[in-house]
A = this chain, B = another copy of it.
Amino acid sequence: MSGSAAYATLQDRFRRRALIGDALGILDWDQATTMPEGSADGRAEQIATLSVMRHELVVDPAVSDGIARVKQDFAAADTDAWHLGNLREMERAYLLAAAVPGDLVEAAARANAVCEVDWRRARAENDFASLLPALREVLNLVRQTADARAEALSLAPYDALLEEYEAGTRMARLDPLFDRLAEFLPAFLPQVLERQDARPAPVRPEGPFAIADQRALAAELMQALGFDFARGRLDISHHPFCGGATGDVRITTRYNESDFTESLMGVLHETGHALYESGLPDDWQFQPVGNALGMAIHESQSLLIEMQVSRSRPFLVFALPHMRAAFGGNGPGWEVDNLYRLYTRVAPGFIRVDADEVTYPLHIILRYRLEQALLSGDLDLADLPGAWNDGMRDLLGITPPDDRLGCLQDVHWPSGSFGYFPTYTLGAMAAAQFYRAAHGDMPGLEEEIAAGRLAPLVSWLRTHVHGQGSCRTADELLSRATGEPLNPEIFLAHLEARYLGNS
Q: Are B248 and A42 in contact (CB under 8 A)?
A: yes
- A246 contacts across to B, CB distance below 8 A: 42
- CB of A398 closer than 8 Å to a CB of B: no
Q: Are A245 and B46 in contact (CB under 8 A)?
A: yes
- Least CB distance, A406 to chain B, in whole angstroms: 30
Of B50, B53, B230, the residue contacting A37 (CB under 8 A) is: B230
Of B37, B49, B233, B286, the residue contacting A34 (CB under 8 A) is: B233
**B-contacting 9-mer, from A15-23, A77-85, A255-263:** A15-23
- CB of A35 closer than 8 Å to a CB of B: yes
Q: Are A23 and B36 in contact (CB under 8 A)?
A: no
Copies in the complex: 2
Number of A residues near B (Cβ < 8 Å) is 33
- CB of A229 closer than 8 Å to a CB of B: yes
- CB of A232 closer than 8 Å to a CB of B: yes
CA distance A36 to B227 in the complex (A): 12
CA distance A23 to B286 in the complex (A): 19
Known contacts being A16-B49, A23-B46, A248-B43, is A228 close to B34, with CB within 8 Å? Answer: no
- CB of A39 closer than 8 Å to a CB of B: yes
Closest to A245 in B: B42
- CB of A231 closer than 8 Å to a CB of B: yes
- CB of A41 closer than 8 Å to a CB of B: yes
- A228 contacts across to B, CB distance below 8 A: 38
- CB of A26 closer than 8 Å to a CB of B: yes
- CB of A447 closer than 8 Å to a CB of B: no
- A231 contacts across to B, CB distance below 8 A: 36, 38-39
- A22 contacts across to B, CB distance below 8 A: 42, 45-46
- CB of A27 closer than 8 Å to a CB of B: yes
- Least CB distance, A465 to chain B, in whole angstroms: 22
Q: A39-B247, A43-B245, A43-B248 are in contact. List 14 more A-B contacts (CB 8 A).
A: A16-B49, A16-B53, A19-B50, A20-B50, A20-B53, A23-B23, A26-B26, A26-B27, A30-B30, A36-B229, A36-B230, A38-B247, A42-B248, A50-B50
